[in-house]
Amino acid sequence: MKLIGLKNRKNAEGFTLVELMIVVAIIGILAVLAIYGVTKYMANAKTGEARNAIGQLAKAAVASYEEERIMNELLAPGTAGTKSAHVICATASKTVPGDIADVGNKKYQSSVEATKDWAIGDQMTGWPCLKFSLTEPQYFLYGYEASTAAGANAFAAYAQADFKGSGGATNQLSITGKQLGGAKQMVVDTAMREDDGAAAATKRAVP
């Protein structure tokens, strides 16, 4: 009778091996879910930067097209210029930063020098024409390409990131826009396109 009481007390105070294994398994599952949740949250937080920036870029491209520009022409003395047109900002010759490795699982702080990053271009070309820049450190590389052909103005703006530090783009957000036929109107995608994996390495083409 005394031995039975001791056995019952041991059962009440301890866990069996099976119970311990179940507890360890549950803790492991919860840890994996927590890590996945944090990773997903961090990725979404970083992607928020690109969503906002690409939206601004699209608006800037449309605004540049809607602005009627006076084109260069040779004028005789006493005559007035007659050439004006709706022309989108031409392609930015450099992405910011210039290499995806500069945002490889880290942030990039763009330069404020007059010959680098957002300053590359002029009133008809690239970032100065778009009046676009980022002053805060960025997780994404940004690019802008355009077609300024008469009656066929179009653009593609894209943001690429390398969250894994793999040396290549692992995520891309992009948006495009194009002139609506012969009308002086620019139509932009209703939603941004998001690519990951191998598809993210190919920059979005101008439509």
Per residue in 121-145, pLDDT (tens digit) is 999 999 999 999 999 999 999 999 9
Q: Which residue has the higher pLDDT, 127 or 203?
A: 127
For the chain, how many residues are written? Answer: 207
- Percent of residues, the chain, with pLDDT higher than 70: 78
CB 153 within 8 A of CB 206: no
- Continuous segment of H or E residues that includes residue 33: helix 17-66
Q: Answer yes or no: is pLDDT of 36 > 70.
A: no
CB 154 within 8 A of CB 178: yes
Helix (H, G, I), strand (E, B) or coil at 81: coil
CA distance 158 to 143: 5
CB 132 within 8 A of CB 154: no
Q: Looking at residue 23, what is its pLDDT? A: 82
Q: Give the pLDDT confidence of 151-201 residue by residue, as tens digits.
A: 789 999 999 999 888 889 999 999 999 998 776 788 999 999 999 888 999
